[in-house]
Amino acid sequence: MASLTPFCSIDVELQFVPIGGVSTGMRLDVPFTGTATSSHWEGERPVSGVDYVNVGAEGVQTLDIRGRIGEGKQVVSYRAMGRGDGTGPLELMIFDTADPDLGFLNGAIAVAIGSLEGTALHLDVSLVER
């Protein structure tokens, strides 16, 4: 049976950029910047990226996220998809990195559960373990 192992916490500030009505609903681009903390590294690492959001007629958000944690040779890029309802997202994440200390992420998947207050988003990211 699968279990979840805490990996990191991410705190970002969101900027909502409305694109307008599209065939699947209302489209928003949501650039974000902030920091990530983890027991896998010391201190905070910068986080940045964009969440491409479509809001359907029923209000459910479809999330398509591209982000980066860290910088230089210690960067981890990630892709996530998920759903949101205005209170916070639920995401499935995959990673790519050349950092040998975090190389285990290249074969990992994670889930993130978020809470949203205004434009401040907090995510708790956990690795899915077999």
Strand 3-14 and strand 17-22: pairing? unpaired
User: What does the mean pLDDT of the chain come to?
Assistant: 96
For the segment 13-19, the average pLDDT, to the nearest whole number, is 96
Residues 6+ apart with CB under 8 A from 95: 76, 77, 78, 102, 105, 106, 108, 110
User: Is the domain 3-129 a CATH 3.40.50.300 member?
Assistant: no
Tokens of 61: 């958000």
pLDDT tens digits for range 24-82: 889 999 999 999 999 999 999 999 999 999 999 888 999 999 999 999 999 999 999 99
In this model, does residue 23 exceed pLDDT 90?
A: no
H/E element, 7: strand 3-14
| Percentage of the chain exceeding pLDDT 90 | 90
How much is the pTM? 0.94
What is the rounded average pLDDT of the residues 78-90? 94
Whole-angstrom distance, CA of residue 8 vs CA of residue 31: 20
Task: Tell whether the model's pLDDT for residue 9 goes beyond 90.
Answer: yes
